[in-house]
Structure 1
């Protein structure tokens, strides 16, 4: 028995054992075998994926999985925020920044991969800015193709021509030999797209979900906008190192703490407030005031708090992590007559009641002692996970209006560093040429799954 046959039999035995055990899933085991056979030198990659007819189909499908992993971990939305931030409100700056970013990335990796990664980012940007996706998708495609003219490794034909020159005793191309021509083509491509963008659907807004309100619309409907504040806990504040339920800020001062921005080494993390949340010096409290006049009454000074800038609603800033939802009282509800304090939403469901609407009008002031009436509508704030848990929780209320931003929720946000690592490994393998592009992408997909950035069900959904 030769070593190759022994290795094949071993892989077959291990695969059968994993199939019987049921962990990992059978499709994951099959993918491991597809990657393992070429890496072991038993088959070529083309032979290993011959059952898929065309390797390009598998490559594109795998790149969609990589892109979906970036969406599930929130990286796509963060990149979209970064691009929008640099572009401000200018569609011209947005198009230029997008094309330059895509072209530079395409200069070191597969243009197909870059497009697959940027498609969800571009769709997110178009939705947020309410512009037609076609205005950005066509420039995305052009920039990815132009990126192939920027470096030697950007596209296979560059390498083929350079290798042929060397084979005939001539000097091959350097890494940046194509760059001057590529930069000129990129500049001309950007100018062209700026001129023709009006015919790419730029005068049409992206289709919006008119059946659902946005977070901003919900906040305005309940009068939250004027009541939102960011308050810094000063070093010698009397509220520092004490739990929220002990402070009784809502009852005594009309200050309802929704969430806490807590500094870490290189970033600030968001923690949703509960009755047991411990306040620390240096924290920034996201609060809902019973009345905007509270700050004038000296409460901030008494509590050792300092107001910080809040350019837009903090619900919009932290939309991927927390949100708002409307809760209605059905006719058979037993809650009418009870106060919001008696409902215990924060302790039972880890959600804050921040608004109450009666007969279509939002009630002002401190609502904790307000008796509920039939057909009242409550506005609750908290994490999307806890909001979704309200489905079917009780016959006394029903969750009926979720804002459009719930589509941008990143269920695997804590896996974002691992998603970046997986993407980095894939790009490094592509650039180095150690393995074929298809192998690099498949390894990236496996790493995404191993680190919990994607599930197999979400991977199939991304492809479909």
Structure 2
């Protein structure tokens, strides 16, 4: 062993110790290593900083932005909520559908991002089904990790292994090269979790801290139940082509149109019901029936409408797009002495007043014609953007309460078709190879920005800078180990242990070493270290590098065994109320299953 190699290994050992201790944080360790490596004389400053110019670092950042676009437009949430709605309260069915959905969504966005996205969804489902969150969070994290095995861009370790193949002069992996391995592993994971869930915490976690109201609380408090209606405008309806101001449904029929849904599928969106809004065939009217004696069926028959079922009390099933807030009328408000209609409240704020309280008592008469008084509490209903805008202005009203559902509100509703189009463009460009992967991702980001799926603020905020800095700081180690002979030394050591047993045994060794590293450091850093070793081992055996490189990618995503193996695991510790041993009990057996599946499938699909 040379002095140069000893210095590099000493730095690598120091980095691993700091990773294990989590002191300082991982991205700080990466920066320390970038600064320290040039002092060894092995790398120049330019080589130590070469990770900053690596196309895959830019690609990973772009994928974070694309994932943010899927979140902001509601695509991922709608998929998740449709799945959990179909599962009902059945825990086994919910686990199956949840893991399948996470695996699919995670194939085109960061596995960390998809788990973060589904955590609030799973918590809501667990609460409504009276299940312990811990029964669902571990299946969520396992599916999130396996989603990284679905496509080339699903997780950073795949791209790092792909980049190493390209750097060594090989062709690299295709977009779906890893999919034939990920799908069987996902099936195995689902079957395994249906049995392993018995090892998970079974008691619902008690909520702590300040409890914010939910929309359902206000529905009960203000007596909104049975006041809502959803009516579709059918062909031949007398409303088609007419403007709302000409119809004056509030005076003639005792109903208030508080929102209009237009479009179908992911293209559906809510529009503001202005006086000039012209009604179209297929529009769905969200109604607040403020006159108790009104017969909705009679309204449907008179105007050629059909009544649609309601899946949430007073439209609470649409809480990602529309919501409520409590506002108080302050002493200087111009609303005092005027009715909601006289003040043109909806025209001015884009919000409909659906509830009114004086003191602690809700007003049950027609609130639209009730003169407002100092200290009145208004319950407003409408798009979240309008609620936020009114909260910022605060001239005529003061925001008293915002519901918990605000955290899940969609910043860009109605932009889902554009986000889907950008995603399809990304996949098409990557699969066809017309442009490099990083260019395809940047084009998709620009398309999302052009159509309002993301803005610059949300784009910068969506990037997980800690992960990027970690990758940038660890990439020079592979170059340093290669220049000092460390990669060849590691390959020789691995072959000396298992080489005589044949290539399949070498795959076992690579998987175990990679998984072992992932116990202490992130799977991203593990892939940086192990990818060049795998290619060197293939060269020593005069074999194809692809089965060995693929094994590293699969093993790096098999970080099931500890809560620190991957950010995916770390995210679910708190919501699932897990201990370190929960991950050991569930993760170690499935890591062994993954090892067996990997060494069985890889040589079959990628011959030596």
Same-fold status (TM-score > 0.5) = yes
Alignment of 1:355-370 (within 5 A): 355-370=355-370
> What residue in structure 2 maps to residue 383 of structure 1?
383
> What residue in structure 2 maps to residue 225 of structure 1?
225
Which of 135, 142, 153 aligns to 2:138? It is: 135
Matched, 1:125 2:128: no
What do the CA deviations read for 1:342-372 (whole angstroms, capped 9, x no partner)?
2220222232111111222221132222122
Matched, 1:408 2:404: no
Instruction: Specify which structure has the higher proportion of helix.
Output: 2
What do the CA deviations read for 1:266-293 (whole angstroms, capped 9, x no partner)?
9654322122223345433211112443
Q: Tell which deviates more after alignment, 282-291 or 261-270.
A: 261-270
> What residue in structure 2 maps to residue 241 of structure 1?
241
> What residue in structure 2 maps to residue 20 of structure 1?
none
Q: Tell me the number of residue pairs that the alignment of Structure 1 and Structure 2 aligns.
A: 399
Change in 2 beyond 3 A, CA 1:48/1:211: same
> What residue in structure 1 maps to residue 307 of structure 2?
307
> What residue in structure 2 maps to residue 426 of structure 1?
426
Change in 2 beyond 3 A, CA 1:49/1:89: farther
Is the CA contact (8 Å cut-off) linking 1:340 and 1:369 kept in structure 2?
yes
Question: What's the offset of the Cα at 1:255?
Answer: 0.9
CA root-mean-square deviation: 4.2
Give the structure-1-normalised TM-score.
Answer: 0.71
Q: Tell which deviates more after alignment, 358-367 or 440-449.
A: 440-449
SS, match of residue 367 in structure 2: coil
What do the CA deviations read for 1:361-388 (whole angstroms, capped 9, x no partner)?
2211322221223321011122222222
Is the CA contact (8 Å cut-off) linking 2:237 and 2:303 kept in structure 1?
yes
Question: What's the offset of the Cα at 1:390?
Answer: 1.4
> What residue in structure 2 maps to residue 33 of structure 1?
none
Change in 2 beyond 3 A, CA 1:49/1:63: farther
Structure 2 CA distance, aligned partners of 1:434 and 1:309?
Answer: 47
> What residue in structure 2 maps to residue 336 of structure 1?
336
Structure 1 CA distance, aligned partners of 2:113 and 2:433?
Answer: 20
SS, match of residue 341 in structure 2: helix
Question: What's the offset of the Cα at 1:186?
Answer: 3.8
Is the CA contact (8 Å cut-off) linking 1:67 and 1:120 kept in structure 2?
no
Change in 2 beyond 3 A, CA 1:49/1:433: farther
Is the CA contact (8 Å cut-off) linking 1:73 and 1:415 kept in structure 2?
yes
Structure 2 CA distance, aligned partners of 1:267 and 1:445?
Answer: 20
Instruction: Specify which structure has the higher proportion of strand.
Output: 1
Is the CA contact (8 Å cut-off) linking 1:286 and 1:314 kept in structure 2?
no
What do the CA deviations read for 1:211-270 (whole angstroms, capped 9, x no partner)?
432222222221112100122345555544333233332234321111223456996543
Is the CA contact (8 Å cut-off) linking 1:412 and 1:452 kept in structure 2?
yes
Change in 2 beyond 3 A, CA 1:66/1:415: same
What do the CA deviations read for 1:167-223 (whole angstroms, capped 9, x no partner)?
9xxxxxxx99995x8766444322322233355556445968854322222222211
SS, match of residue 274 in structure 2: coil
Gaps of 5+ in 2: 1-45, 128-132, 164-169, 171-175, 465-608
Matched, 1:63 2:59: no
Change in 2 beyond 3 A, CA 1:116/1:399: same
Is the CA contact (8 Å cut-off) linking 2:335 and 2:396 kept in structure 1?
yes
Q: Which has the higher contact order (CA 8 A, sep 6+)?
A: 2
SS, match of residue 338 in structure 2: coil
Structure 2 CA distance, aligned partners of 1:369 and 1:159?
Answer: 67
Structure 2 CA distance, aligned partners of 1:208 and 1:427?
Answer: 43
Is the CA contact (8 Å cut-off) linking 2:114 and 2:144 kept in structure 1?
no
Gaps of 5+ in 1: 1-45, 161-166, 168-174
Question: What's the offset of the Cα at 1:340?
Answer: 2.5
Alignment of 1:310-321 (within 5 A): 310-313=310-313, 315-321=315-321
